[in-house]
Amino acid sequence: MEEKIRAFIAIELDPEIKTVIQSFETSVKTKAPSGLRWVKIDQLHLTLKFLGDITIIQAKQLSNTISDVVEDYHPFKLQVSGTGAFPNWRYARTLWAGINKSDELTSLFKQLDAEIAALGFLPEGKPCSPHLTLCRVSDHVDPHLVQPLQKEFDVFLTVTLPAWKVNEVVFFKSVLQPGGPIYTPISKHILK
């Protein structure tokens, strides 16, 4: 049986952004119910495409495809903007921070999705909705205990985070562990 790896394509965050988000999370965690699984700050990233389990051969094809796509893009800036919950605050399963609208990001997302679909992967089938997953809510947590966190997240909306420059796209391997996933770059793709 061929070896499989769990993989995704993402944009990494500037360390300064991570520091501000970490400070926010630290203050919110004291008010949060137990059963929330916070994403480790060093693993925080902007996912462009989750691929699931792929073969080594597919990983090589994907790496080449990513390189071909990103060579059409110049570095561009992104900024954290807005917060929210999926599907909503009344039944929150995921708490997130949004990313500003960016024509470059939307174009990159669509082009990557189309080129990867040509390799036989399912297309996203939904528009680009860039966000940073900050926390996942366990199934056993009462949604009413999570809902008050909306006020804390709304306060975070008032913080203006600096924009950061996107210079590369990273193709990651994800290994699931009891203490949380471990992400390792398979390849890094520099924008032109």
Range of the domain at 71: 4-190
pTM of structure: 0.92
70-118 tens-digit pLDDT: 999 999 999 998 899 999 999 999 999 999 989 999 999 999 999 999 9
Tens-place pLDDT, residues 46-60 = 999 999 999 999 999
Query: What are the angstrom distances between the C-alpha of 168 and each of 42, 111, 176, 178, 189?
Result: 17, 15, 24, 30, 5
Q: Following CA atoms 182, 115, 188, 37 in sequence, which dihedral angle do they give, to the nearest 10 degrees?
A: -20
Structure tokens at 60: 């090589």
Rounded to an integer, the average pLDDT of 151-169 is 88
pLDDT for 133 beyond 90:
yes
The rounded distance, in Å, linking the Cα atoms of 28 and 22 is: 10
In this structure, are strands 4-12 and 45-55 parallel, antiparallel, or unpaired? antiparallel
Q: Give me the number of domains the chain comprises.
A: 1
Bridge partners (DSSP) listed for residue 9: 49, 171
Do residues 175 and 190 touch, judged by C-beta distance below 8 A?
A: no
- Rounded Cα gap, residues 71 and 13, in angstroms: 20
Rounded distance, CA 145 to CA 43, Å? Answer: 26
Please check the confidence at residue 159 and state whether its pLDDT lies above 90: no
pLDDT, tens digit (0-9, with 9 covering 90-100), for 27-43: 999 999 999 999 999 99
Closest CA to 146 of 98, 83, 97, 94: 94
Q: Which of 169, 163, 167, 164 is nearest to 188 (CA)?
A: 169
Tell me if 90 sits within 8 A of 70, measured CB to CB.
Answer: no
Query: pLDDT (tens digit, 9 = 90+) per residue, 57-70?
Result: 999 999 999 999 99
Instruction: Look at residue 1 and tell me whether its pLDDT is greater than 70.
Output: no
- pLDDT grade for 179, boundaries at 50, 70 and 90: confident
CATH code of the domain covering residue 22: 3.90.1140.10
